[in-house]
Structure 1
């Protein structure tokens, strides 16, 4: 082995030895703390009372029915909107010819009031047109400073009044004799935007 190589090897060995000795004798103070966090999701729990809002038998053009029902937020989160989805089916009288018009076009629905939000008519249209709409059942469109805002806070409820009317259009409506309309309303609760907690 040459002198240069031996000298280089000796310097590297000495440096390694010093590093090991220095590393072994280095001392310092230390401390540690442990933290924990919990993330618990809230719940949306919308209920209606009663779940059968109205049953009208033997109706004729001009007849109507007014009913009150309640939407309740039994969850732990505030509900920002309650979207109403409408679906119905018409059952023709057995043996009668098929209708040339949709019975739902002749049934007018009026959300007369949301007693907890306002006193005016909230919404008024036919069941046929309501199918293509998605109104907010707990919205307060005409909010005054002293009135409740839209939405449904956790643990609260809204009382709604609704009117259904078989509209008399002063025309021949004989095709609807014996028919029945089965209505299904689905109220969809939606949360509000996220917020700092």
Structure 2
């Protein structure tokens, strides 16, 4: 073996020895920490204090009925843009209405805190959502509303509406603030 090979072998042996000595004798400190996390989503829960806001019997032209209801924010999140969507179906039980829409004669006024929110016929409200509140913070007091419905008397014969029934569906919807 020549000198060059002996030097390389000696150098490799020395490096290997240093690695074994250093690797076998080194020590270090370590520590770990862990967490258990939970993410829970908030909830929107719009409450209504009545199952049916109106149950009117024997309603006649010229008459007005009114009632009150409350909406509550029973969820954990603030609400905004509470809307009322109206749909209805007329059950013609008497004389044919011949295209005369009873919804055009029923005028709805919605008030909150004595302030008029809207005054429209059911025909105008049908499929046309109306904003009834802009903000409704979680944990706030109930919002009180008054609804007044008037059967408009057009001064003409309205006998074709006798015994008819209007099935009214109101849907209240709130979105997250």
Q: TM-score, normalised by structure 1?
A: 0.74
Task: Kindly state the Cα deviation for residue 98 of structure 1 after the two structures are TM-superposed.
Answer: 4.7
Task: Kindly state the Cα deviation for residue 17 of structure 1 after the two structures are TM-superposed.
Answer: 5.0
Distance in structure 2 (CA, Å) of the matches to 1:162 and 1:131: 16
The answer to whether the aligner puts 1:121 opposite 2:106 as a matched pair is no
Provide the secondary structure at the position in 1 that maps to 2:144: strand
- Specify the alignment match of 1:87 in structure 2: 87
- Specify the alignment match of 1:41 in structure 2: 41
Provide the secondary structure at the position in 2 that maps to 1:104: helix
- Specify the alignment match of 2:168 in structure 1: 183
Distance in structure 2 (CA, Å) of the matches to 1:161 and 1:130: 17
- Is this contact kept in 2: 1:79–1:154, CA < 8 A? no
Distance in structure 2 (CA, Å) of the matches to 1:53 and 1:5: 102
Deviations 1:126-166 (A, max 9, x none): 11221232222223xxxxxxxxxx32432521110111111
Task: State the aligned residue count.
Answer: 177
Provide the secondary structure at the position in 2 that maps to 1:138: strand
Question: For the pair shown, which has the larger CA radius of gyration, 1 or 2?
Answer: 2
Task: Kindly state the Cα deviation for residue 5 of structure 1 after the two structures are TM-superposed.
Answer: 8.0
Give 5+ residue unaligned stretches, structure 1.
Answer: 140-149, 193-197
Which of the two has greater strand per residue?
Answer: 2
Change (3 A) 1:97 1:30: same
Task: Kindly state the Cα deviation for residue 20 of structure 1 after the two structures are TM-superposed.
Answer: 4.3
Which of 128, 132, 143 is the aligned partner of 1:133? 128
Give 5+ residue unaligned stretches, structure 2.
Answer: none
Task: Kindly state the Cα deviation for residue 71 of structure 1 after the two structures are TM-superposed.
Answer: 0.8
Distance in structure 1 (CA, Å) of the matches to 2:71 and 2:62: 28
Change (3 A) 1:20 1:123: farther
Distance in structure 2 (CA, Å) of the matches to 1:189 and 1:81: 6
Deviations 1:169-194 (A, max 9, x none): 334433322211011111112221xx
Provide the secondary structure at the position in 1 that maps to 2:169: strand
Provide the secondary structure at the position in 1 that maps to 2:136: coil
Distance in structure 2 (CA, Å) of the matches to 1:67 and 1:189: 22
Which of 122, 143, 156 is the aligned partner of 1:158? 143
- Is this contact kept in 1: 2:47–2:73, CA < 8 A? yes
Instruction: Give the aligned CA root-mean-square deviation in angstroms.
Output: 2.8
